[in-house]
Amino acid sequence: MFGKRSLDPAPRSHYRSERVSAINGQYFFSTREGTLEGPYFTRVDAERNIDQYIRRMQQASALTARSGSLSH
């Protein structure tokens, strides 16, 4: 059985550190599609926008799939 030790950090959202980068004091995140999104003023802003980006991509994919099924 696995348990949480008292010294273990509390559970929270984790982001890949290599996904967010700083360039000339501005923050960007890279996507699986190979784009660099930003700039953002802080690392926290960039990390928050990763989730928003993922939701937009999922919505676009769902719309594309739905419109494709309507045309056939």
Contact 50, 40 (CB under 8 A): no
pLDDT by residue (tens digit) across 36-49? 999 999 999 999 99
Instruction: Say if 1 falls within a structural domain.
Output: no
| Phi, psi torsion values for 30, nearest 5 degrees | -95, 150
Which tokens hold the place of 13?
């959202």
Instruction: Say if 23 falls within a structural domain.
Output: yes
Predicted model pTM: 0.62
Domain that holds residue 62: 17-70
Contact 28, 20 (CB under 8 A): yes
Instruction: Say if 43 falls within a structural domain.
Output: yes
Residues 31, 18: Cα–Cα separation, whole Å: 11
Question: In total, how many domains does the chain have?
Answer: 1
At residue 6, does pLDDT exceed 80?
Answer: no
Among residues 69, 71, 37, 34, which one has the least CA distance to residue 53? 37
